[in-house]
Structure 1
Amino acid sequence: MRPVPPLSPVMTEPLIRAALAEDLGQAGDLTSDAIVPPELQATMTLTARQAGVVAGLDLATLAFRLIAPASVIEIGHPDGSAVSPGDVIATVNGPARGLLTGERTALNFLCRLSGIASATAAMVEAVKGHKAEIVCTRKTTPGLRAVEKYAVRAGGGSNHRFGLNDAVLIKDNHIAVAGGIRSAVERARGGAGHMVKIEVEVDTLTQLDEALALGVDAVLLDNMSLDQLAKAVTRVNGRAITEASGRVTPETAPAIAATGVDLISAGWLTHSAPTLDIGLDFAAVR
């Protein structure tokens, strides 16, 4: 397991508060408030129901604590841990009513982020033995980019740019509007600061040669065949970071990695990864 620095509560608490407010509405938890005595205490377990990698425990914990501040959570498998069916990820002790109220919000985040971490871990495992890193993209759920990219890191992957403001990525439409790669790169250099790196998306080896001649920092090799990727890596020869993108799955990733690219990006890790099945089960009441 690679240690994953936690996100600041300043980043995560607004997300959890908004999710809880959405769920509680204007009347609160009608079911739990009516059925569960306020003095009843409970022990519940967050249990994996399928194999995967955990991510999002801080958010799940916060969901319980915002509803039931007296809750005590004991972590058995921290973020970044591999789990098997039946593994107890965490044990939650506190007011039964509050735990039930926070359950869905906690599980929504935990299952979603653990699914992303699990999908990323499968991709990382697929390219093991090669230098290529697995990276995500900006294809994230609106409002959840920070936590979804965190989940990629928990799964052993790395992050591409976080937004439009932290790097220049010149894509095909930018090139078309600018009238060519040279014009696009020159304009980008004129408008970006000296700390900002420039990456250019290329579809052909001819475009690659043009981008390299301009001294760009990275090249996005978009939807190239394995033969094209291998030739592109040879032509680059370390002069720029090479990133392969397009039709990447755990099945295709090993062959892509074998071409020698530095990065393999996959948008589906954050927009289409299936959730990991995790349940909240009663262990005891008192």
Structure 2
Amino acid sequence: MKVAFVGKGGSGKTTLAALFARHLATQGRPVLAIDADINQHLAVALGGSVGATTTPLGENLPMIKDYLRGDNPRIGSAAEMVKTTPPGAGSRLLRVVEDNPVYSACVRTVGGVRLAVTGEFTAEDLGVACYHSKVGAVELLLNHMVDGSGEYVVVDMTAGADSFASGLFTRFDRTFLVCEPTVRSVGVYRQYAGYARDYGVALSVVGNKVEDATDVEFLREHAGTDLLTWVSRSTYVRRAERGTVGPLNELESVNRAAVGQLTEAVDRGVQDWTAFTRWAHEFHRRNAAAWANDRAGADLTTQIDPDFQMGPQVLTVPATVTA
């Protein structure tokens, strides 16, 4: 199941994404975490040291494209692939856990969790590139990811409604919007929910930094039935934010229970591979018309394989085999 954490900047989405990913990993569940936020803090939230490096996905984008292209006859070269290029017959697909060149180059284990990162802005990016050029690598990976029940891809997304700058927001089976009990934070919720409504996004609100019953009532008043659960002010989290990430069993029991509710909500979900494929094709058409055709000098809508639908049925090799 693909899971996104979104919300207002500073709402605590990175913290909750890290807690959720660690909770899954401690239960022995297959999980891959991806930091797709412009502020790359997920590694530290998982317990990694400040300054430790992971090779960003963007630095290996040509290799990633070439690997995923496989021998798909609709894609003439890796250079013709863009962030929205969908898989088709002959494409290489990814499992959450397997041996492949992409994971070998870009995934390391931090705090017991396998992690990939988009990477930060470089000096060369300043003034000439937007962050979505980096997040495009994540979209390409998720387009080619065949994950099943009991497997998890956890993505810490960009703040606010930035996700809607691409079709990335349609790649998830469950989206958790982290919301503080403040007017500004619920404003982000309303904006996100409004944009997502027409796309069948499974959206749940997770309250954060809740201090008392009035905070819960405020969130319930504004989020209604979208409010799934809430996390209280936490001394454990406060210590973690100062650099001491303790064992997860030290997290307050009420907050551990809330993280468990997130897992239950994800596990209750149903993967709609038909919708996943349909939106992949739709956003590829939109991007082709808006900019990609001009950049490639070709009609990239021909990359769409109308007879190919993503889902477990397209897997032809065991997950442990390197293609």
TM-score by length of 1: 0.31
TM-score by length of 2: 0.28
Q: Which has the higher contact order (CA 8 A, sep 6+)?
A: 2
Structure ID, larger Rg: 1
